[in-house]
Amino acid sequence: MPVTQFKNCRILRDHELVREDLWVENGRIINPEELFYVQKRPPAFQVDCRGSIVAPGFIDVQINGGFGYDFSFDEDKTEEAVSVVARGLLAHGVTSFLPTVITSTPETYRKVLPRLNKRPGGEDGAGVLGAHLEGPFISREKKGAHPVQHIRPLEKGFETVKEVYGCLDNVAMVTLAPELENACDAVEGLTERGIVVSTGHSAGSIMDGERAFKSGARFMTHLFNAMTKFHHRDPGIIGMLTSKRLPLHELYYGIISDGIHTHPAALRIAYKTHPNGLCLVTDAVAPMGLGSGRHHIGDMDVVIEGERALIEGTDTLCGSIVTMDGCIRHFMHSARCTTVEALEAASLHPATALGITAQKGTLEYGSDADFVMLSDDVFVRATYIAGRQVFAAPGQAFIHEPVQ
């Protein structure tokens, strides 16, 4: 494929915004010095980015659905749900995601998981990096909106995991409560198969979290939400952020930056305590993108009031309706962080947590040309996957001009 030069932009590279051109060939970022001095050929096309910030495409590792679809319910529409959500995410700068399935029955996992195939992104939507299975091995006390009747113990550790989920080929991440009996055996079995284990929906202590981490867990699911509240005598798994027993450079955590699930002060505490492990997640549910009103999700009735998604008749949050670009803007404002730090929390950090930085999460030479063009106030102008424009905001299309 011909080489394209993206000029007049500020690229997020090496933890700073630099005024450089971005060069793309065959869907990957290339080194222009190799092009000029070794291959001795010019680009075939140029794109004027009109002063945009060019950042790696965003990666959402926890999203339950959106645009009227949910990944945990109505198994016969799983492919349709993935397709609709994948397309809708492009408008928000998301180029890769983990469709998330909450606590369900073994029968549901066996129907849904084969349909959550890993697939590259493109004009049809963001890429699927694998499924995130949030449950059913969680605390009944900290179940949140998960159906309690489907929560299960880990009677035989990893053997139970295999019995409940069935085939693990399409699984990228699993959330479980570290205090459960035989949890460490489950963690070891999953990590040996390259699956990221996240601690969450937990009533456990800091020691429970540390044991799981030493067994291979590397992530925490929506920090502060559905876990033991911080206490000065036992901070719960939240305390892992400052543990002296753990190599913190290997610990990552998701956080919902929507102004509802996490107070701005809590966002600032997490950011100041362990900024390099912070991964923005939406935890979005089916009504995301639908607006206010009453919606039916699986066997639950959900009411959307402004920015809140509640189980009807309760004050229980059932997920968020925030988009990833909205998370970034709120995080910048609440945590008082830099634009670079906020953008990396939606790209570099989740890619590092998943172990895929050779392909995603950066704009280094050789990485996939998945990127997003942004205004200075972090609104999406255009989204690119493999160097091709797959979304443009109204009036924001960027033209590939042939080089004469």
| pLDDT tens track for 155-208 | 999 999 999 999 999 999 999 999 999 999 999 999 999 999 999 999 999 999
Q: Does the pLDDT value for residue 59 go beyond 90? A: yes
Instruction: Report whether 233 belongs to an annotated binding site.
Output: yes
pLDDT digits 0-9 by tens, 202-251 = 999 999 999 999 999 999 999 999 999 888 888 999 999 999 888 889 99
* Catalytic option among 60, 70, 208, 283: 283
The rounded percent of the chain whose pLDDT value lies above 90 is 81
3-state SS, the chain, equals CCCEEEEEEEEEECCEEECCCEEEECCEECCHHHHHHHHCCCCCEEEEEEEEEEEECEEEEEECEECCEECCCCHHHHHHHHHHHHHHHHHHCEEEEEEEEECCCHHHHHHHHHHCCCECCECCECEECCEEEECCCCCCCCCCCCCHHHCCCCCCCHHHHHHHHCCCCCEEEEEECCCCCCHHHHHHHHHHCCCEEEECCECCCHHHHHHHHHHCCCEECCCCCCECCCCCCCCHHHHHHHCCCCCHHHCEEEEECCCCCCCHHHHHHHHHHCHHHEEEECCECCCCCCCCEEEEECCEEEEEECCEEEECCCCCECCECCCHHHHHHHHHHHHCCCHHHHHHHCCHHHHHHHCCCCCCCCCCCCCECCEEEECCCCCEEEEEECCEEEEECCCCCCCEEECC
Residue intervals in the chain for CATH 3.20.20.140: 58-354
Would you place residue 79 in the very low, low, confident or very high pLDDT band (cuts 50, 70, 90)? very high
Q: What is the pLDDT of residues 287-346, one digit of tens each?
A: 898 878 888 766 678 888 888 888 888 887 777 899 999 999 999 999 999 999 999 999
Question: Was 201 annotated as part of a binding site?
Answer: yes
358 annotated ligand binder: no
**The pLDDT value given to residue 91:** 98
Q: Kindly state the average pLDDT of the residues 130-150.
A: 95
306 is in an annotated binding site: no
Delimiting residues of CATH 2.30.40.10 domain(s) in the chain: 4-56+361-402
Looking at domain 58-354, its CATH class is alpha beta
CATH of 4-56+361-402, one of 1.10.443.10, 3.50.50.60, 3.30.70.3420, 2.30.40.10: 2.30.40.10
Residue 145 in marked binding region: yes
Where is average pLDDT lowest: 35-39, 153-157, 262-266, 378-382?
35-39
Residue 17 assigned ligand-binding role: no
Catalytic site includes residue 185: no
